[in-house]
A and B are shown apart, each in its own frame.
Chain A
Amino acid sequence: MVATSELLRPTTHPHPEVTTAGRVGRIAVIVAIALVPVAVPGLLGGNQAQACTLAAIYAVIGLSMNILVGYAGQISLGQQAFVGVGALAAANLAGTGINAADPFSFGLAFVAAAAIGAATAVLLGAVALRIKGLYLALVTLVFGSVAADAVFTVEGLNGHSAGVPATRPTALSGNYQFYLFCLAIVLVVLYVDWSFTRTKAGRAVNALRENESVAQAFAVNVMGYKLLAFSISGAMAGLAGAMYAFWNQSFSDKDFTSTAGFTKALIFLVMVVVGGLGSRTGVIIASAFFGLLDTLLSWAFKTAGFSNWYIDHKNYVPGFIGALLLLQTIVMNPGGLGQVVRPIGRWLGGRRFSLHDESELADVGPTHVRA
């Protein structure tokens, strides 16, 4: 039996053995790609490392959005609320005042932020289970802004509107040290994302995104797995919130309420679409870009001599660029950045460099892009 199946298997593109030179080349590229995020912020120094940390935080937020929107197909415009409660919980639990957090309460703050992010997301998920598409987007939008305005404006929790201090432990007080810590969290989140997609939960969520009836016929508990997607996404977003609080060394409710909160919700959605729904590589690149956007723009306008103009219009320019990128993606490149980097990923995986995916018999559209 096995022999027949081997004969039947498509050997039209037999994977060629990777030569030694090819292997060395691939390893060199992988090492180079891995070194950039570790070394560059260190070489740039303090303030730039701080900007890069925001990119790492956005990468975690992007991955959390990707689980919900990319894998489970549940549009969320309330992600900033999960990030916000994570930040709020972390800052309040670490209870640092002006002193540096001790390592124990620092760790606890992260665990608690993830837990409360997950709990908030499950709460929203339970409400949103029976609605789809546009209505779901609206419910998450309303939930995000109402919950944010209701919870974050509680005087006892937001430090009487003056912000709750969240001072880092001494070992991480340096910006580059804290950046490396955040990079480690990105790796943990990336591992969770990767093992999610290659095991039964990922397959179940993938099936229910495309067709709930088929998923049910395959014994998938659709509601249960939607809630699982909400909770994992919420946990990641909460974690990002804790990172954000310690990045800023303070929780400020103004970052997550009204216009600032709404702008964040939109940017978070734009970054997964621009990155490519379902593509973790694309999402990380796009999220990091949006995390760095403010710094990049400040630098660019300053160099061009328009820094005052930029400061006056700071709130609108990143959103405008996001909108342009969104249009470009939807019209010209629906698979997002993930689709662009996919050939590189295949090459690194040991296959010949080709723009065409061998599993693609015909163009089925961007129902799922994975890089």
Chain B
Amino acid sequence: MSVLELNSVSIRFGGLQALDDVSLKVNEWEIVGLIGPNGAGKTTLFNCVTGFYRPHGGRVHYRGSDVTEVPPHRKAAMGFGRTFQNVGMVKGATVLENLKTAQHAHAGYDALTGIVGTQTVLASERELTAKSDAILDLLGLGAVRDLRVGGLSYGTLKLLELGCALATDPDILLLDEPSSGMGPDEAHELGDRLLTLRKELGLTMLLIEHHVPLVTRVCDYVYVLNFGQLLAEGAPEMIRNHPDVVAAYLGGEAPEALEEAVQ
């Protein structure tokens, strides 16, 4: 059974058909890439999957059950961990506070008990801190634990954001351009990390990514979106040489131009 399945999902914003009849599938343990030019609808698709947008047509299935109408906070509690294109963290809080906030659904007590402040609450709080520290160790970011998020560099933030997504205890991770703001070396390291995470935590992933070497290295399968429609799908190597994909990225004349250049 697939972890995530989209059946002809469509969404329109006014006159713009942002997603048109998009179907895709992510299987257990797979890392699936979602690529396409700017404005193709990749982030919109993420928002439909995670419940931030409600598609006008089509269904979203998670492990066999229809979750199209489930609101985002419940999706997060169900196991949808996501990151945002321009860093989704609480900037005024410290790194540790962010990681503890991300564990909201698994805090082990309810909000009112928290306000009373019983022994259980204190014990749970210690556990949350311990788990946050474990995640920081995993990412090698223990040094920034007590710093405020607002002042950190973009590359560090993208990594921390991944840490926050992990802290939500996800079953499927949806990463929106995880390598943006990173140099080639860091991006390579990120690839290693993603592969390790899948191996150690048994995660399934869907990632939006522009960095082609990273996509080819980590993804098992790739979907290409263009103007809200699926343009192509297949193994990464195949996608790389697909004439439509090359055309979408470089402009309509590209394949001919390439051929001319070769001649």
Known contacts A213-B52, A214-B89: does B115 contact A5 (CB below 8 Å)? no
In the bound complex, how far is the Cα of B136 from the Cα of A9, in angstroms? 10
In the bound complex, how far is the Cα of B115 from the Cα of A198, in angstroms? 9
13 CB < 8 A contacts A-B: A5-B136, A199-B107, A199-B114, A199-B117, A200-B104, A200-B111, A207-B90, A213-B72, A213-B88, A217-B72, A218-B76, A362-B151, A368-B92
- Interface readout for B82-93 with A: 1 if CB under 8 Å, 0 if not? 101000111111
Q: How large is the interface on A (under 10, 10 to 19, 20 to 34, 35 or more residues)?
A: 35 or more
In the bound complex, how far is the Cα of B168 from the Cα of A207, in angstroms? 14
Tell me the dominant secondary structure on chain B's binding face: helix
CB of A210 within 8 Å of the partner chain: yes
Tell me if A9 and B142 are in contact (CB < 8 A). Answer: yes
Tell me if A219 and B121 are in contact (CB < 8 A). Answer: no
Tell me if B92 and A201 are in contact (CB < 8 A). Answer: no
Q: Give the distance to chain B from A291, nearest Cβ to Cβ, in Å.
A: 25
Could you list which residues of chain B lie within 8 angstroms of chain A, going by C-beta atoms? 50, 52, 71-74, 76-77, 81-82, 84, 88-94, 97, 100-102, 104-105, 107, 109, 111-112, 114-117, 121, 125, 133-134, 136-137, 140-148, 150-152, 164-165, 168
Known contacts A9-B143, A210-B90, A220-B73: does B52 contact A361 (CB below 8 Å)? no
Q: Give the distance to chain A from B147, nearest Cβ to Cβ, in Å.
A: 5
Tell me if A195 and B115 are in contact (CB < 8 A). Answer: yes
In the bound complex, how far is the Cα of B149 from the Cα of A364, in angstroms? 9
Q: Give the distance to chain B from A187, nearest Cβ to Cβ, in Å.
A: 14
New A-B contacts (9) at CB < 8 Å, excluding given A200-B109, A218-B101: A8-B143, A9-B145, A199-B117, A211-B88, A213-B84, A214-B84, A217-B76, A219-B73, A232-B115
In the bound complex, how far is the Cα of B73 from the Cα of A362, in angstroms? 31
Tell me if B76 and A359 are in contact (CB < 8 A). Answer: no
In the bound complex, how far is the Cα of B74 from the Cα of A4, in angstroms? 36
Which residues on B sit within 8 Å (CB–CB) of A214?
A: 84, 88-90
Known contacts A4-B137, A5-B136, A214-B88: does B115 contact A192 (CB below 8 Å)? yes
